[in-house]
């Protein structure tokens, strides 16, 4: 499991791990934003953040179930607890079913956290947050995963090969 704020190198790391032979999941937020923008729908964080969160929850639960059918290690680009953290960060009510999902859909106890990294942070079509919001997101995810009893491992800042080797050393 990889979590942290936006623009901290999670997806790049996941792609690198895929090239090294590991299976990964796609990040819910980016996928939903792309689909919603393509179809003109409103489950977007800047239009309807509650609907966006519900869409992410569905995506993450489906990814979890898909991963259970795999015969290899699956590395998640975020997960159900990120939805809980997102709702808290956005100042939105956290429905009971989101809390229940975070308790039911459990991942490996060890979660890799990508710390804020100003030197690589960029904006794009899907990532509209500024660095300050990325840092707040990181903090919200750390608080959420800690509260849920996960062991957090901070990823080193360094080139992609270093990060890949770090993760592989801890999961194999």
Per-residue pLDDT tens over the stretch 47-103: 999 999 999 999 999 999 999 999 999 999 999 999 999 999 999 999 999 999 999
| Domains held by the chain: number | 1
Provide the 3-class DSSP secondary structure of residue 31: helix
Query: Six-digit token pair at 126?
Result: 């899907």
Provide the 3-class DSSP secondary structure of residue 51: helix
Assign residue 104 the CATH number of its domain: 3.40.50.300
Structural domain of 30: 2-171
> Would you give the distance in Å from CA 29 to the centre of its chain?
8
Query: Six-digit token pair at 49?
Result: 């953040």
**Average pLDDT for residues 125-138, to the nearest whole number?**
80
Between the alpha carbon of residue 52 and those of residues 30, 100, 112, 113, the distances in Å are 11, 18, 24, 22
| pLDDT value of position 7 | 84
| pLDDT value of position 125 | 66
> What are the backbone dihedrals phi and psi of residue 75, each rounded to the nearest 5 degrees, phi first?
-105, 120
Q: What is the pLDDT of residues 16-45, one digit of tens each?
A: 999 999 999 999 999 999 999 999 999 999
Q: Are 77 and 11 in contact (CB under 8 A)?
A: yes
| pLDDT value of position 128 | 67
Provide the 3-class DSSP secondary structure of residue 4: strand
């Amino acid at each position: 499991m990889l979590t942290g704020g936006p623009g901290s190198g999670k997806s790049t790391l996941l792609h690198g791990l895929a090239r090294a032979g590991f299976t990964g999941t796609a990040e819910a937020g980016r996928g939903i934003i792309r689909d919603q923008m393509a179809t003109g729908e409103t489950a977007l964080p800047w239009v309807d953040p509650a609907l966006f969160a519900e869409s992410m929850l569905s995506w993450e639960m489906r990814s979890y179930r898909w991963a259970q059918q795999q015969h290899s290690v699956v590395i998640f680009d975020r997960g159900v607890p990120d939805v809980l953290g997102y709702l808290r960060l956005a100042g939105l009510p956290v429905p009971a079913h989101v809390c229940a999902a975070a308790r039911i859909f459990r991942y490996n106890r060890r979660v890799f956290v990508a710390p804020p990294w100003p030197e690589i942070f960029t904006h794009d079509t899907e990532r509209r947050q500024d660095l300050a919001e990325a840092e707040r997101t990181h903090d919200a995810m750390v608080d959420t995963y800690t509260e849920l009893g996960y062991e957090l491992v901070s990823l080193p800042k360094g080139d992609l090969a270093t990060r890949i080797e770090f993760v592989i050393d801890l999961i194999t």
